[in-house]
Amino acid sequence: MAATGSEQEGTRAYYVSTPIYYVNDAPHLGHAYTTVAGDVLTRWHRQRGEKVWYLTGTDEHGQKIMRTAEANGVTPQEWCDKLVEESWKPLWEHLRIANDDFIRTTEKRHTDRVREFVQDLYDRGEIYRGGYEGPYCVPCEEYKTYGELLDGEGEWEGQKLCPIHKKPVEMLKEENYFFKLSAYAEKLLAHYEAHPEFIQPESARNEVVQFVRQGLEDLSISRSTFDWGVKIPWDDKHVIYVWIDALLNYATAVGYGSDQKKFEETFPADVHLVGKDILRFHAVIWPAMLMANGLPLPKRVAANGWLMVGGEKMSKSNLTGISPHELTDHFGVDAYRWYFLRAIAFGQDGSFSWEDFSARYTSELANDYGNLASRVAAMVGKYFDGALPEATGHGEAEQAIADGLARAAREADEKIGEQLDFAGGIAAVFDFIKQVNGYLTEQAPWKVAKDTSAEAQERLATILYTAAESLRACAVLLNAVMPESSAKLWETLGAEPALGPLSEQRIADAGQWGRLPAGTKVTKGAALFPRLEETK
C-alpha cells in the first residue's frame, strides 16, 4: 500500500475507485484489467505531486457468494476470508497495485454505516414496503426486465436467459422494501446534461441517457429469502440488497459517518472505474442514492470495455485457463501492466491473444525500449568509462529530440492523466522512443567513435548524452505503467544521486530538456525486457 504524503494533510485527494469484486472465485484477467488501469491513473496523479486516494476491495454479501460457500461446504465468511487472503490481496501485491485501502463489505466499519445510510433514507421517506415479482439473475445479482432476456437453446430450451451471463434467470416473488428510484429520472437527466463528463466514454453516456429517458422503476432494496447480508435496521427479517450495500463502500471506506474530516477531504470520487456491465448501477442508482441522502455526486464514472474470449466477455467460466500469474510468469509484471492498456483502447472491448502480446513485447518493449537502454548504457560504458558526458554540441538533430520529448510528455499527461486514454498516452511515449532510435541510427555513434579527433569525440558525447537524457524522461513517463523497469533504468542512468528518487520526479518536469546532469555514473544492468523463452 502507498502512503499519502503528510505534507499534503488537509488538501483534497484525487479519489479513484475500482469496483469491489465478488469473491465467489479467484481474480481473473478481467478484474486485473480495471485494477491495473486504476493503479496507473493514481500513480500518474501521485507523480504529478497530487494527494491521491486509491480504493479497491471485495463485495462479499448476496446470494452468489452464499451459494458458492454452500457448494464448498464452508460458511460464507470463511469462504470470503480465504479468498481475500489467499487470492485477491496477493494478486494485487504481485501486480504492484498501490491501493491506499482495501474495503471488505463484511467489515464492521462498512456494515454499521450501511445500516445508518439506509435508515436515513427510510427516515426521509425514500423507502417504502411493497411486493415484486420478476426474473432475477444471480450472477448479476439483479432483476432483469422481460424485454432484455434471451431465449434459451439446447440444454436451456424453453428457458429465459440473462443477456450477460447467458444462463437461465430465476423467477422471484417477494415482499420487499423499495427505494423511490423513479422519482430521480428527471434529476439524473438534468445532471447528465449539466455535466457531460459525468459518464465516459460518450457511447456509455448515450446508453445511460437513453435508458433513463424511458423512465425508472422503483428499486427493490431488500431480500428476505436468505440472510447473508446486512440486516435492514428496522426489520431484521430482511437483508439489504447486495448492490445497495456494495455501492456504499465508496462512502464508508473514506469516513462516511465515522471520520468527517477524511470524508470531506476525499468524497466524492473523482473517478469510479467500472466495467460497462455495471455502468447503470454506478451512473443511475448510485447518484440517485446520493441525491436522496443529500450527498455530492462523483465527478466521473468511467466505463471500461470487456476483455473478450471467443467473442464473449471473459469470465471465470470461459477463460480458457489463462490466469494473470501465467502471463506474468512468462512476460513479467511490468509487461503485463503495460500490455492490456497499450493494446486496447480504454472504453472499447478488446481480445487478448498470446501471439499479439508476444509480438508487441518483442517489438516495442524488448527491441525499441529495452535495447535502446542497453545500447546507450553499453556505449557510455565503453567510450566514456561509464561517466555520462556533456552535450557541448546540441544542434538541430538534438533539438528535434528535445521537442519530441516535450510533445510526448504533454500528450501523455493529457491522455493518461485527464482523458483516461491509456493507449494513446503510452503510444505517445513509445513514438518518442522510436524517434530516439531513429536518431541513433542516423547519428551512428559507433561509427563516430572510431574517429579519435576532439571534434568527433565531442559529437559522440552529444549523441550519447541526448539518448541518455531521453531515457531519463522515459523512466519518469513510464513509471506509472511499469514501475519495476523504470526503477531499473533510473539505476542504470545513475540518476538518483543527482535528481533524487524516481517517485519524486514530477510529470510536469519530465519533458524539460537537460535535467540529467553530465557526470552521472551509468552502469549496464540486466536487460529491462529479456528475450522471451520459447515455451509458448
- 83 binds ligand MSP per the rule CB under 6 A: no
Residue 41 binds ligand MSP, judged by CB under 6 A: no
Query: Which among 313, 415, 474, 488 is annotated as catalytic?
Result: 313
Among 30, 229, 287, 324, interactor with ligand MSP by CB under 6 A: 30
Asked if 325 is an active-site residue, the reply is no
Name the minimum Å distance from CB 220 to ligand MSP: 17
27-35, 191-199, 440-448, 488-496 -> range binding ligand MSP (CB under 6 A): 27-35
Q: Does the footprint of ligand MSP cover residue 307 (CB under 6 A)?
A: yes
Q: Does 34 bind ligand MSP (CB under 6 A)?
A: yes
Q: In Å, what is the CA distance from 100 to each residue of 54, 198, 392, 482?
A: 5, 24, 45, 19
Question: How buried is 503 (Cβ within 10 angstroms: 0-12 exposed, 13-18 middle, 19+ buried)?
Answer: middle
- Give, in order, the Cα–Cα distances in Å from 39 to each of 16, 43, 287, 471: 9, 6, 24, 23
Active site residue 474: no
Long-range contacts of 348-353 (CB under 8 A, 24+ apart): 348/305, 349/305, 349/306, 349/307, 349/308, 350/305, 350/306, 350/307, 350/308, 351/307, 351/308, 351/309, 352/29, 352/307, 352/308, 352/309, 352/314, 352/322
Q: Which residues contact 100 (CB under 8 A, 6 or more apart)?
A: 1, 2, 4, 52, 53, 54, 55
Say how far apart CA 328 and CA 118 lie, in whole Å. 42
Could you confirm whether 31 is annotated as catalytic?
A: yes
Indicate if 162 belongs to the active site: yes
Give the C-alpha separation, 200 to 203, whole Å: 7
Catalytic entry in 82, 94, 165, 330: 165
Active-site position among 31, 64, 191, 415: 31
Closest CA to 136 of 156, 179, 165, 106: 165
Residues 200-259 that bind ligand MSP (CB under 6 A): 246-247
Q: Compare residues 148 and 455 and give the one whose CB is closer to ligand MSP.
A: 148
Q: Which helix (H) or strand (E) holds 509?
A: helix 507-510
- Residue 137 appears among annotated catalytic residues: yes
Query: Shortest Cβ contact with ligand MSP: which residue?
Result: 30
Residue 504 pairs with which residues in a beta bridge? none
Strands 271-275 and 14-22: parallel
Work out the number of other CB atoms within 10 angstroms of the CB of residue 389: 21
298 binds ligand MSP (CB under 6 A): no
Site for ligand MSP in 312-371 (CB under 6 A): 313-314
**Residue positions counted in the chain:** 536
Judged by CB, which is closer to ligand MSP: 135, or 350? Answer: 350
Distance CA 382, CA 470 (A): 19
Question: Would you state the cell numbers that stand for residue 191, as one nine-digit string?
Answer: 445532471
Q: How far is the CB of 229 from ligand MSP (least distance, A)?
A: 13
* Binder of ligand MSP out of 271, 278, 285, 423 (CB under 6 A): 278
Stretch that binds ligand MSP, among 16-24, 209-217, 288-296, 335-343 (CB under 6 A): 16-24
Shorter beta-carbon distance to ligand MSP: residue 37 or 429: 37
Report the alpha-carbon distance of residue 390 to residue 375 in Å, rounded: 18
Residue carrying the nine cell digits 456509455:
204
Report the residue number, 11 or 72, with the smaller CB distance to ligand MSP: 72
- Least distance from ligand MSP to the Cβ atom of residue 424, Å: 19
Q: Would you say 344 or 471 has its CB closer to ligand MSP?
A: 344
Distance in Å, CB of 247 to ligand MSP, minimum:
5
Say which of 80, 137, 238, 474 is annotated catalytic. Answer: 137
Which residue in 61, 140, 272, 276 is the catalytic one? Answer: 140
Q: With b meaning 16 or more CB within 10 Å and e meaning fewer, what string describes 222-240?
A: bbeeeebbbbbbeeeebbb
We find the least distance from the C-beta atom of residue 248 to ligand MSP, in angstroms, to be 8
Grid cell of 315 as nine digits: 469470465
- 140 labelled catalytic: yes
Stretch that binds ligand MSP, among 28-36, 462-470, 472-480, 507-515 (CB under 6 A): 28-36
> Quick check: is 165 catalytic?
yes
Question: If 0-12 CB within 10 Å is exposed, 13-18 middle and 19+ buried, where does residue 159 land?
Answer: middle
Q: Which of 275, 287, 347, 370 touches ligand MSP by CB under 6 A? A: 275
Q: Interface with ligand MSP by CB under 6 A: which residues?
A: 19-22, 30-31, 33-34, 59, 246-247, 274-275, 277-278, 304, 306-307, 313-314
> Which active-site residues does the annotation give?
28, 31, 137, 140, 162, 165, 313, 316
